[in-house]
Amino acid sequence: MTAAVVPDLGPLDIRQIIQISFLLAASTILFFSSLPSLKTRFVTYGSRATSVSNIEGPNAPRPDHDLPKSHTRSSWSEAVLDGVTDLQVPHGWFLHFYVVSVLCSLFWGFQILARTSLLVVVCENAGAGRTLSMNQLALMWTLMAVQGLRRLAESILLGKSSTSKMWFVHWILGVMFYAAMSIAVWIEGAETLLRSQSPLRDITITAPSIRTMIGLPLFLLASGIQNDCHTYLASLPKYTLPDHPIFHTMVCPHYAAECIIYLSLAILGAPDGAWMNRTVFTALVFVTCNLAVTASTTKEWYMAKFGREKVEYRWRMIPFLF
């Protein structure tokens, strides 16, 4: 078997690179959302980037960022930002995220089962630390594959044709996130994989651990809630205020469910003696920051379109907290 060759990673190992990448992406999103000139151009997308006035009628007052660009550009820097903003892709390309997720899960699943030279090299450069059991690795890989398959099925079966756009960086970031997650769910078990000659034979039937009794029900419950939310939202006419009971409390309960899904994975993938899987936890930080910003813009858009009194009392994403 010919050994694969990878460049020297220097002082960082692969799990640290993934962790830093997730945290850097989260920080960048928060920075962009904190500056109005960047937020309106690069953060909002889909229906949230659609002017309320354009929906209600052409004679209604329009916010500055909806005026022709010749009326809003006051400097060369804004002209450059507007030019970069124009690099957009269809919002329907969200489907690609889940295609990538499923394909990457299958790819790394094969690498693990075949114990390829690529897997060995990645594991050797994964970094030292507490490791996971083979049972944990199998469960983590399976649940991530299930998550990708479910979201892919929802995108195909529930998705509607739309003219909405998103900034191309959103698309690139999403593709990279799911590609990285397909590694993040097992990278902290690298030492276990290196020691194993037959991963399937090393999977044993044992009594569920406390982390499994906590994490697995959380994953299943959150997945079910998210699917119900997506199914309900897909049944609504375009630009309609959700009236399902769960939406009375939160503007984006499906985002809360997404965070719980990654929280459950972080719990399920925790090494012995640890509360969380560090790599998956950094993914949770990214997901939470990204969805929190989107939930905030969604609430702002709802208040502008449907009236502050109908939306203001609803939490954005996390009841009693945010």
Q: What is the pLDDT of residue 20?
A: 96
Mean pLDDT of 76-96: 76
Looking at the chain, the whole-number percentage of residues with pLDDT higher than 70 is 83
Tell me the C-alpha distance between 260 and 218, whole Å.
7
Mean pLDDT of 139-163: 92
pLDDT at 280 over 80: yes
Read off the pLDDT band of 90 (50, 70, 90): confident
More confident of the two residues 72 and 247? 247
For residue range 28-58, list pLDDT tens digits in order: 999 888 777 666 666 665 555 555 545 553 3
Q: What is the pLDDT of residue 72?
A: 47
66 φ, ψ (degrees, to nearest 5): -100, -5
CA nearest 233: which of 168, 181, 162? 162
Tell me the C-alpha distance between 122 and 188, whole Å.
11
For residue range 93-139, list pLDDT tens digits in order: 889 999 999 999 999 999 999 999 999 999 999 988 888 999 999 99
Contacts of 244 (CB under 8 A, 6+ apart): 229, 232
For residue range 156-177, list pLDDT tens digits in order: 999 877 777 888 888 999 999 9
Entry pTM: 0.85
Read off the pLDDT band of 227 (50, 70, 90): very high
Q: What is the pLDDT of residue 1?
A: 46
Q: What is the pLDDT of residue 189?
A: 94
Stated length of the chain: 322
- Taking CA 309 as the corner, what is the angle to CA 291 and CA 258, rounded to the nearest 5 degrees? 20
Other Cβ atoms within 10 Å of 36 Cβ, number:
10
Cα distances from 252 to residues 56, 294, 310, 312, 316, in angstroms, run 23, 9, 15, 13, 6
